[in-house]
Amino acid sequence: MDEDLKKQLVKIAGTIAGLAMDAVQKADSGHPGMPMGCASLGAFLYGVHLRHHPKHSKWINRDRLVLSAGHGSMWLYACLHLSGFKLPLEEIQRFRQIHSKTPGHPEYGLTDGVEATTGPLGQGVGNAVGMALGMKLLKNRFNQEGYPLFTGKIFCVAGDGCLMEGVSSEASSFAGHLALDNLVLIYDSNHICLDGPTSECFTENTKARYIAYGWDVYEINGDDFEEMEAVFGEIRRRQGKPVLVICKTIIGRGSPHKEGTAKAHGSPLGAEEVALAKEALGLSKEEFYVPQTVLSFFEQKGLKEEVFETEWNDLFRRWSKNYPELAVEFHHMQDHFLPPNLETLLQSVEMKPSISGRAASQAILQKLGEWLPQLWGGSADLSCSDLTMMKQYPIVSSDHFEGRNIKYGVREFGMATIVNGLSLLGPFRPFCGTFLTFSDYMRNAIRLAALSHYPVIYQFTHDSIFLGEDGPTHQPIEHLAALRAIPNLHVIRPADAYETRMAWIAALRYKGPSVLVLSRQTLPELEQTHVPYEEGMGRGAYIVKQEKRPLDFTLFATGSELALAMEVAERLEPLSQSVRVVSMPCWALFEKQPEPFKQSVIGGPLGIRVAIEAATELGWHKYIGIEGIAICMERFGESAPSADLAQEFGFTVDAIVERLMCKK
């Protein structure tokens, strides 16, 4: 490496460390150790190696860097600021302050250059795997001889905590299975975690583990620029597998009294220690100091980076001219194209008159796969049961990336993080599936998808005790309430095949994550649900049976219990009871409706309000009131046929009518 470049990188590394120390100290909160220990790595990656264009940060063929160790966010913010992303110094100075662009952990969509929302450890590894998979899929679909459109690599910086979390093992195993040769995981190996040295809790042979996954592994000194140049250059030229780079660093490097200890991990160093560290590193005492030579270096680098994109744009124009059909398909993927007559198209999908929610969704998926090139899906070893397979397309494998179906294996949490990463790439609208009860494994990744509005669709089947004999371990009780509690997440539980059609419209139109909650058992198709999307599912809740005189009862139901509610209403009317029935497939959509509409459905004198749902009652009293009746699950289920379970837990017409009439 040229000596002048090496000197410049040393200065950049010092600037990264200085900005991190100052920002954490000013905020009196944060993690200075990782940014200081990885400062040289950041200088090399952002100063030399990454192929991107910060002035156009969404250029699709860019190299992407995910910081899985999100607590070290000031490392990333310092690198982004110096590189020329839209992150001014004022935002660095507002680290961890309200409404700043520099929150405690990186958030996608808030800060320019942040590729994924990270912080809960290990998930960034899965995000990076998903991005790498997506680039392989794009490369296979669109690259033509002489037109290497998609060549970008995915880098991920992870720490000891990330590799301790099981989700990184799931994702790494999957990446090795597919031999993702565009993925580079950089392990900040400093032998320190928040609670002390890793010798107290983490003594595995990480190198051997990753070799067993089918990865190549390199080891480097995290402060040796020549080693970095040699190893990363080799990876750029000859990568044939996913790669782990074990980067040996010293946490809090430069701090005279705290480097190499847990004291540098998660707390400010203190003003005196910052001053001593700056002196040891040869940095200016001035707070938030950025040398002009560093700014000039990145300005010159920016001119070279602009050439990357300019040349690519020219390549893309020539490719579009020579392959117009592929170009149209790519633009449809980028735009998440939906046919203007989607509702009519879905109504034309043929189904049996009585069909399970999962089977109805499968029939819909076969057609959506044809109409929507951006739709890619997979399951955690349950595609034959949650019915997520698009049968006309093959399965993705290490030798064939032509498929549209992804088998994630029994890796629910890993699947959720990988799907998040796939959605972050841009052109994909991914879905994934498992049983509703296993959404617990995925919950934190679903939460991050909701936080950052990732457009992911989850198909969760076996939605209640009525899945039957598998018993309480597989029968979801609290899961609807738990998912409904997540802000920005649309939880949709359709009542029949028609509502399932409309549920897919709702999920595809939403600019964020949606959950489709589908039955295992067959459901009758109700004539009353056959209303236009904008009058039914699009409202989140709507009246399916209108009363003819002042109300005695209003029945609220979702999913399979809507048909039950309709039967209850039919039984009550001969008893001189006036009944309204409301289908409430998506509470979140209903809450977004204008107040007059909401009042027309749930306002006014409604008589006795009743919720019927084979799940916990938590949340229902917002709609039925404290005096309302919740015919819901109060305990875990049993292993038995569904008819016996309905009898046992009071989900029969006779049991509900008797209970309601006792209230009169």
The enclosing domain of 60 has a CATH number of: 3.40.50.970
For a pLDDT cut of 70, what percent of the chain falls above it? Answer: 100
- For residue 488, the enclosing domain spans 342-529
End of a domain among 491, 514, 529? 529
pLDDT tens per residue across span 81-140: 999 999 999 999 999 999 999 999 999 999 999 999 999 999 999 999 999 999 999 999
CATH number of the domain encompassing residue 618: 3.40.50.920
Within-domain flag for 388 = yes
> What is the rounded CA–CA span in Å between residue 437 and residue 473?
8
3 state DSSP class of 549 = coil
For residues 445-450, give the mean pLDDT.
98
Same domain, 408 and 427: yes
In tens, the pLDDT along 156-189 reads 999 999 999 999 999 999 999 999 999 999 999 9
C-alpha–C-alpha distance, residues 580 and 268, integer Å: 60
Asked if residue 400 and residue 293 are part of one domain, the reply reads no
User: pLDDT at position 605, please?
Assistant: 95
- Categorize the per-residue pLDDT at 567 as very low, low, confident or very high, splitting at 50, 70 and 90: very high
Within-domain flag for 122: yes
**pLDDT over threshold 80, residue 664:** no
Mean pLDDT, the chain, integer: 97
Each residue of 9-32: pLDDT tens digit? 999 999 999 999 999 999 999 999
Contact residues for 460 (Cβ-Cβ < 8 A; gap 6+): 386, 433, 434, 435, 436, 439, 479, 515, 516, 517, 518
In a domain, 312, yes or no: no
Domain end among 469, 503, 529 = 529
| Structural domains in the chain (count) | 3
* Shared domain check, 353 and 284: no
Q: How confident is the model at residue 480 (pLDDT cuts 50, 70, 90)?
A: very high
Mapping DSSP to helix (H, G, I), strand (E, B) and coil, where does residue 356 land?
Answer: strand
Active site members: 412
- Residue 327 within any structural domain of the chain: no
* Mean pLDDT of the 624-648 span: 97
- Are 509 and 584 part of one and the same domain? no
pLDDT at 515: 98
Residue 314: inside a domain, yes or no?
no
Helix (H) or strand (E) holding 580: strand 579-583
Q: Which amino acid is at 209?
A: R
Give me the mean pLDDT over the 606-631 stretch.
97
Each residue of 517-541: pLDDT tens digit?
999 999 999 999 999 999 999 999 9
pLDDT in the model for residue 353? 87
pLDDT of residue 663: 81
Residue 71 lies in a domain: yes
One domain, residues 159 and 48: yes
Closest CA to 461 of 516, 536, 498: 516
State which amino acid sits at residue 50.
Answer: L
Together in a domain, 129 and 191? yes
- Single residue among 529, 554, 578 that ends a domain in this structure: 529
Are both 431 and 547 inside the same structural domain? Answer: no
- The Cα 229–Cα 567 span in angstroms is 72
Same-domain check for residues 481 and 408: yes
Side-chain-side CA neighbours of 424 within 13 Å: the count stands at 33
CA distance 42 to 82: 10
Same domain? 402 vs 440: yes
Same domain, 498 and 466: yes
User: Does 637 fall in a domain?
Assistant: yes
Helices (H), 475-604: 479-484, 497-509, 561-572, 587-591, 595-602
According to the model, what pLDDT value does residue 365 have? 98
Indicate whether 285 and 351 sit together in one domain: no
pLDDT tens digits for range 275-304 = 999 999 999 999 999 999 999 999 999 999
Tell me, yes or no, whether 330 lies in a domain. Answer: no
Q: Could you tell me if 256 and 280 are in contact, meaning their C-beta atoms sit under 8 angstroms apart? A: yes
Q: Which residues contact 615 (CB under 8 A, 6 or more apart)?
A: 464, 476, 477, 478, 479, 480, 481, 632, 633
Averaged over 555-581, what is the pLDDT? 98
Q: How confident is the model at residue 576 (pLDDT cuts 50, 70, 90)?
A: very high
Same domain, 301 and 350: no
